[in-house]
Structure 1
């Protein structure tokens, strides 16, 4: 239930209380008053004018005697309820006017206005797990006007709420349940409306600089998707954007549906390209992968070698490859040497793409990566 419906419900209960001729000590009245105060505090704040005005209302007799009839107490409470109804109805009108103004804003603008609040609510609940990276990646998508990335990570946040909703509701330490409910509905609303936004106005602005920017090509066999996904998550974590990475096994970095894979790669090779070769025995047995390897050699692209733990370095096909197989690389075996090599790769890419990653965040990203390749 959104905030407007909640306030309508609170106002609607007033008529029922009046019909019952409650007093200020009636349990039904006390429950209603508590509910109304909680709503106003959540919406406007504990120190707001709105909550102060509501609390000033009197629902009891100022002067009474032992023989004062109950009807007088009922009348006093009813008078207070009518005043409260008038005040709350004014707040309702303001909220509805505000909603009408917001409805004129497209989903993308609303996301930009509301993102800080969305992020704060989630991070106040948890600072760990994949959702932290999802928020970071969504922020990147907003900063670069990347529609696909925005949609993907909005959906990830909705999935996170679905998976964790019962835990949030049952957690006795969560005192802002209403904020989470509002957050979930807001994310859903933005996700459902984002397709209606015309992103072409941003694309033209962004494309003018793209041809001079480098791009990473993660050359891999589809059978090694586990390791490819771990590398993709690491690269996204340090700030590599959606169109700065070609990784055909991921929805954000795949080849467009209506394009031939080799034509697309050839067009991308017109940019400065850095290749990450994910070596495996399956890679060496794939003609498509070896064709990609040939393109790396023809374009004289810079590259780094990454190996799955089971890779056979004595495979004769490996020695016959066009690239320098003696170049040092990283074996994804979870060792300290693996960590050091991946950190070197990070440093190289940060310099290449002019990125910035604080040490605390990098430690988290690297730990997640080591977990992903070990599972």
Structure 2
């Protein structure tokens, strides 16, 4: 992955911290200008705007660190953010010495290169981890790859070691990860789950809604209650889900194999106490 691709993935998170602290016209201009430059592949403009963002941090950093209303985790995030921007500037300046900063044809656009993978975040209550584990198995057996799934109740699909959970999830949501809401009474009673829901809604992430058997109050919160969602204990809903995922991820699965995959999830879902 080249530096412009990497920055394109991380820029929403980088700018999100700045906007949360001071969402004025200056910080809005940073967002508009750098996203335009990233889209056109103009590395010279990207470098210039990053230098402006770094200057903003130089002017505001002491105020951020001394602000009693900024929590310690947020201060740490701003420190890391400032260092990340400085590293990008250093890398781009080194590249500029060797060649013009023109990234109109990135590695990902070259013939034969692999497209960037779409990622899924399983937003769930830990009290529902058994049925959600069966759902993750359902996705993998359909052909969705392990590294495309973020599921915090699994060591294989969870938060990388030594990473701050809050910052990592925020970065993934800021980066546009697709959110699968696993709705249940447990989900709605969890402040942590509701925070995830709200954060993804604010960022307007793509999402799908899934109804666990122990949801008794219907769809609530910022999710559109006109969205029926997929019921995990409904065979027809799982067939529709499979058809949609096969189109979305370019998957192929035989009917016989899918019958087995579907039945395993139905069995687990129907074991959930309502």
TM-score range, shorter chain: 0.5 to 0.7
Q: What is the number of residues matched between the two proteins?
A: 162
Contact 2:123 2:182 in 1 (8 A): yes
Contact 1:234 1:366 in 2 (8 A): yes
Residue 374 of structure 1, CA deviation: 2.5
Q: For structure 2, which runs of at least 5 residues remain unmatched after alignment?
A: 1-106
Partner of 2:75: none
In the alignment, does 2:127 pair up with 1:223?
A: yes
What whole-Å deviation, never above 9, does each CA across 1:96-133 have from its counterpart, x for those lacking one? xxxxxxxxxxxxxxxxxxxxxxxxxxxxxxxxxxxxxx
Per the alignment, do residues 270 and 211 of structure 1 end up closer, same or farther by CA in structure 2, a change over 3 Å counting? farther
- 2:158 corresponds, among 254, 275, 290, to 254
Aligned equivalent of 2:212: 308
Identify the residue that residue 296 of structure 1 maps to in structure 2. 200
Q: CA distance change for structure 1 residues 211 and 285 in 2, over 3 Å: closer, same or farther? A: farther
Q: What is the DSSP-based 3-state SS (H/G/I as helix, E as strand, rest coil) of the residue aligned with 1:356?
A: coil
Contact 1:273–1:302 under 8 Å retained in 2 = yes
Counting only pairs closer than 5 Å after superposition, residues 139-154 of structure 1 correspond to structure 2 as: none
1:239 to 143, 150, 161: 143
* Aligned counterparts of 1:301 and 1:346: Cα–Cα separation in 2: 21
Please say if residues 213 and 269 of structure 2, whose CA atoms lie closer than 8 Å, have aligned partners that are also in contact.
Answer: no
Displacement after TM superposition at 1:373 (Å): 1.9
Which residue number corresponds to residue 340 of structure 1?
236
Asked if structure 2 preserves the Cα contact closer than 8 Å seen for 1:212 and 1:272, the reply is no
245-254 or 342-351: bigger deviation: 342-351
**2 CA distance for matches of 1:270 and 1:214?**
14
TM-score, normalization: structure 1? 0.40
Describe the superposition over 1:347-366 as per-residue Cα deviations: whole angstroms up to 9, x where unpaired. 22222222211222111111
| Higher helix residue share | 1
Could you say which residue in structure 2 is the equivalent of 1:322?
222
Deviation at 1:286, TM superposition (A): 1.1
Shift of 1:222: 0.1
Q: 1:212 aligns with which of 116, 128, 150?
A: 116
Structure 2 length-normalised TM: 0.54
CA distance in 2, matches of 1:235, 1:264: 22
Answering whether residue 247 of structure 2 is matched by residue 359 of structure 1, we say: no
Q: Per-residue CA shift, 1:313-352, capped at 9, x if unaligned?
A: 25xxx53x122122011233x3xxx111122222222222
Alignment partner, residue 331 of structure 1: 231
Q: CA RMSD in A?
A: 2.5
**1-structure distance, mates of 2:204, 2:249:** 19
CA distance in 1, matches of 2:175, 2:241: 20
Which blocks of at least 5 consecutive residues in structure 1 are unaligned? 1-204
Rg (Cα) greater in structure: 1
Alpha-carbon distance, 1:272 to partner: 4.5
Q: Is the 8 A contact 1:274 1:302 kept in 2?
A: yes
Give 3-state SS (helix, strand or coil) of 1:340's partner. helix
Deviation, 1:277, is 0.8
Deviations 1:161-194 (A, max 9, x none): xxxxxxxxxxxxxxxxxxxxxxxxxxxxxxxxxx
Equivalent position of 1:368 in the other structure: 264
CA distance in 2, matches of 1:260, 1:284: 24
Conservation of the 8 A alpha-carbon contact between 1:330 and 1:342? yes
> What secondary structure sits across from 1:251 in the alignment?
coil
